[in-house]
Structure 1
Amino acid sequence: MSDQDLICVGAIAGAYGVRGEVRVKSYCAAPEDIETYRPLYTEDGSRTFNLALLHQVKNGFAARIAEITTKEEADEMRGLSLFAARDQLPSLPDDEFYHADLIGLEVYDTGGTLLGRVKTVQNHGADDLLELQLKGTSATTFLPFTKAAVPTVDLASGRIVADPPLGVLPDAADG
């Protein structure tokens, strides 16, 4: 299974209790949907897990994974991202995107000038932010992923058209 076939749907945040339960953070629009995607995979697809949610806890869920039976095994899983097969996930409306589909896209301004490439998609509690690796430098900047700042996402051609708010781009890139 290639990385294009897998979408990150959550992560193991650590152990929960002493019997191998784990704390899981869900990245799904409906957080409890993470349980419906079976099996879940590691990023490289080498391991699979069947997740059973037990109950909600602060910032996620307590869950059981059959392959994890001790607190020590659960502790070792901390930070492990959980991926679902793309074909298990629901289709999205035209104006919504999986983060994995945005990473790597070239970003152009409204005048057609290449600004850079999407490095990551972040969310720190408000709107999503596209972290752009600026063209020709090692510098990055964050572009709000709003309709105003990103009017066009064309997955078929692998490009985004952006109208960055003032102050988002460094002066050298503005000029």
Structure 2
Amino acid sequence: MEQFLQVGVISSTHGIRGEVKVFPTTDDPNRFKKLKKVILETKKEKLSLEVQGVKFFKQFVIVKFKEIDNINDIEQYKGCSLFVSREDAVALEEDEYFIADLIGMEVYTNENPEELFGTLKDVIETGANEVYLVESKTHGEVLIPAIRQCILSVDVKAQKMQVHLLNGLLDQ
């Protein structure tokens, strides 16, 4: 399991007082309002930064960090990712999962529960529901909608998922 979860990517600076525009990679950007600290990952190190203020602008979140009051101090971090520790992440509802916990999960079908069907490679957000991209040795890339009819069980600790393949999901 990942220790840190990505919440956004710094896309640019905002103004001259050290604020940044962050493209949120979380499904609920309002979570930024509750953030007290984030981990900024650079190519060389991980920096712990305290969040001083948050506001919203179009699809971006404008974030102000304590101790950074100048555009020159923050400009070097454009393109860097922001993470939160698992302890600081929001609590999940039942049947909600962090994408980082799903990637790499072994996928089995209810038709053949002992034989590995494939590995979950990506989660695609479509608006209506998420879709899991599973790489199968037999069937290639298979798209499985993340709906109750298809996703029968998820065991994050064991890194296993059991699915039901609806008619039409596999190429004939």
Which TM bucket (shorter chain)? 0.7 to 0.9
Report the Cα distance in structure 2 between the residues aligned to 1:157 and 1:94, rounded to whole angstroms: 17
Bigger shift: 6-15 or 19-28? 19-28
Distance change in 2, residues 1:110/1:79 (3 Å) = farther
Runs of 5+ consecutive residues of structure 1 not aligned to the other structure: none
Aligned match for 1:7, one of 5, 8, 13: 5
Q: Which amino acid in the other structure matches residue 130 of structure 1? A: Y
Report the Cα distance in structure 2 between the residues aligned to 1:78 and 1:143, rounded to whole angstroms: 35
Q: Could you say which structure has the higher strand fraction? A: 2
Q: Which residue of 2 aligns with 1:31?
A: 29
Distance change in 2, residues 1:18/1:170 (3 Å) = farther
Q: TM-score, length-normalised on structure 1?
A: 0.77
Matches within 5 A, 1:5-154: 5-28=3-26, 30-42=28-40, 46-65=46-65, 66-67=67-68, 69-70=70-71, 73-74=74-75, 76-111=76-111, 112=113, 113-135=115-137, 139-154=140-155
Runs of 5+ consecutive residues of structure 2 not aligned to the other structure: none
How many aligned residue pairs are there?
Answer: 167
Distance change in 2, residues 1:109/1:49 (3 Å) = same
Q: Which amino acid in the other structure matches residue 166 of structure 2? A: P
Report the Cα distance in structure 2 between the residues aligned to 1:93 and 1:56, rounded to whole angstroms: 25
Bigger shift: 141-150 or 26-35? 26-35
SS in structure 1 at match of 2:92: coil
Deviation digits for residues 103-155 of structure 1 (CA, Å, limit 9, x no counterpart): 11101111124221111222143311212122368x43322111112121122
Judge conservation of contact 2:8–2:23 (CA < 8 Å) in 1: yes
SS in structure 2 at match of 1:164: coil
Judge conservation of contact 1:105–1:118 (CA < 8 Å) in 2: yes
C-alpha RMSD of the superposition: 2.8
Q: TM-score, length-normalised on structure 2?
A: 0.78
Q: CA shift at 1:43, angstroms?
A: 5.1
Judge conservation of contact 1:13–1:24 (CA < 8 Å) in 2: yes
Q: CA shift at 1:86, angstroms?
A: 0.5
SS in structure 1 at match of 2:46: coil
Judge conservation of contact 2:31–2:90 (CA < 8 Å) in 1: no
Report the Cα distance in structure 2 between the residues aligned to 1:123 and 1:78, rounded to whole angstroms: 25
